[in-house]
Amino acid sequence: MKRLAILTSGGDCSGMNAAIRAAARTAAANDVEMIGYRKGFAGLLKNDFLVLDTRAVSGVLQRGGTFLQSARSQEFRTEEGRKRALDNLLHDKVEGLIIIGGDGSLNGALALDRLGFPVIGIPASIDNDIPYTDMALGVDTALNNIIYAVDCIKDTASSHDRAFIVEVMGRNSGYLASTSAIATGAEFAIVPEVELDLTEMCHQLRRRYEEGRTNALIIMAEGVGHAQAIADSIKDAIGFETRVTVLGHYQRGGAPSVFDRLLGSRYGRRAVDLLLSGTKGVMVGLAASSLTSTLLEMVVNGGQKKLSEDLTRMADILGI
Ligand code: F6P
């Protein structure tokens, strides 16, 4: 192979730059040119790319987000758009493409694979809901961001005897909420995968209040409902003064953690090695600290990764 390409698609996350850098440098070490399409599939549809030689990827490892930028392209979702993407890849003399992103992006990767183009996927989404990998890129950094913010909130919650509802990301996934609840010692994690029994939660909070615990922390995934409505119910049921904090996109940015820098570097290098050895149509992943590769077909058809019941149970037990 003489030329490979890489792009980042969907929601950005920390660690994407590490993966791009590792892919570009692994390609260079094999005398293969790497190009990067700007703004994901949108850039591919416009032949908008830059050459990623070793110098072009200097100084990006420690930066959050993606320096190639990202987008959610509607046009690429159409059959016509996908055919044009294939034409553009052939026009640009690209022989293999690495796609870094979440479920929608991996779906796009599978579409190109089905059109016969060599593609490798790299899982990246702070939601950690992609099957066939223990960890997607960006999850660890997002969790570190969350626990930093929640630790700050705990200080002020205890100074004022207040209950806080902290809303974290995860439209359909409670991974960030459960994991950060365990790591911050929160009383409750509210996740989309488990139906909320508001009366029971208020009952338990009241019991704790009567035992003398005058502040409380509840971490809620954004997909569950309206944080202010839950806060109002707690106020009415117990008398706690309540406040709501929505962490929002703060969670997705910032310098990548050591874990995400290493994971991105491993994924990026492995993706190039796979393409150069003739493997295509797979997503790289992590299982028990080792790198894996799984057919994109299985990843996309695997649906959303199931939240571990043990994780939610642990959040429940340790919050008591
Ligand atoms: O899928 C990753 C994610 O960060 C979700 O947790 C969140 O709901 C969504 O992206 C936000 O998307 P956008 O940045 O397009 O608002």
CATH code for the domain in which residue 170 is found = 3.40.50.460
CB 223, CB 145: distance < 8 Å: no
Q: Is the CB of 125 under 6 A from ligand 1?
A: yes
Q: What's the total number of domains in the chain?
A: 2
260 with 239, same domain: the answer is no
* Structural domain contains residue 315: no
156 with 210, same domain: the answer is yes
CB 39, CB 131: distance < 8 Å: no
The atom of ligand 1 lying closest to the CA of 252 is 4
Q: Whose CA is nearest to atom 12 of ligand 1?
A: 11
Which ranges of 172-257 does DSSP label H, i.e. alpha helix? 175-184, 198-210, 227-238
- What is the Å distance from ligand 1's center to 11 Cα? 6
pLDDT of residue 262: 98
Q: Is the CB of 127 under 6 A from ligand 1?
A: yes
Query: Which residues, at least 6 apart from 124, have a Cβ–Cβ distance to it below 8 Å?
Result: 8, 10, 13, 15, 16, 19, 100, 101, 102, 105, 136, 137, 138
Q: Is the CB of 176 under 6 A from ligand 1?
A: no
Residue 208 domain boundaries:
140-252
Q: Is the CB of 216 under 6 A from ligand 1?
A: no
pLDDT of residue 243: 96
Determine the residue of 252, 304, 305, 307 to mutate for testing ligand 1's pocket, defined as the one with the most ligand atoms within 8 A of the Cβ atom: 252
17 with 99, same domain: the answer is yes
Determine the residue of 12, 105, 127, 222 to mutate for testing ligand 1's pocket, defined as the one with the most ligand atoms within 8 A of the Cβ atom: 127
Last residue of a domain, one of 252, 281, 315: 252
244 with 273, same domain: the answer is no
106 with 20, same domain: the answer is yes
pLDDT of residue 274: 98
90 with 125, same domain: the answer is yes
Length of the chain: 320
DSSP one-letter code for 124: B
Q: Whose CA is nearest to atom 3 of ligand 1?
A: 11
- What is the Å distance from ligand 1's center to 172 Cα? 10
Query: Which residues, at least 6 apart from 210, have a Cβ–Cβ distance to it below 8 Å?
Result: none
* Structural domain contains residue 320: no
Neighbours of 258 (CB within 10 A): 10
28 with 94, same domain: the answer is yes
- What is the Å distance from ligand 1's center to 67 Cα? 18
pTM, full prediction:
0.96
Sign of the alpha-carbon dihedral angle for 75, 77, 82, 88:
positive
126 with 275, same domain: the answer is yes
* Structural domain contains residue 314: no
147 with 218, same domain: the answer is yes
* Structural domain contains residue 112: yes
The catalytic position among 103, 127, 129, 140 is: 127
pLDDT of residue 213: 86
* Structural domain contains residue 288: yes
122 with 270, same domain: the answer is yes
181 with 82, same domain: the answer is no
* Structural domain contains residue 318: no
Neighbours of 91 (CB within 10 A): 9
112 with 150, same domain: the answer is no
pLDDT of residue 210: 87
The atom of ligand 1 lying closest to the CA of 222 is 8
Q: Whose CA is nearest to atom 5 of ligand 1?
A: 170
- What is the Å distance from ligand 1's center to 74 Cα? 16
Q: Assess whether 127 carries a catalytic annotation.
A: yes
Residue 101 sits in a domain whose CATH number is 3.40.50.450
pLDDT of residue 14: 98
Distance in angstroms (rounded) separating the CA atoms of residues 292 and 266: 11
* Structural domain contains residue 114: yes
pLDDT per residue of the chain (320 residues) written in tens, 0 to 9? 999 999 999 999 999 999 999 999 999 999 999 999 999 999 999 999 999 999 999 999 999 999 999 998 999 999 999 999 999 999 999 999 999 999 999 999 999 999 999 999 999 999 999 999 999 999 999 999 999 999 999 999 999 989 999 999 998 999 999 999 999 999 999 999 999 999 999 999 988 888 888 889 999 999 898 999 999 988 888 888 999 999 999 999 999 999 999 999 999 999 999 999 999 999 999 999 999 999 999 999 999 999 999 999 999 999 98
Tokens standing for residue 49 = 């790319």
The atom of ligand 1 lying closest to the CA of 223 is 8
Q: Is the CB of 226 under 6 A from ligand 1?
A: no
- What is the Å distance from ligand 1's center to 138 Cα? 12
* Structural domain contains residue 316: no
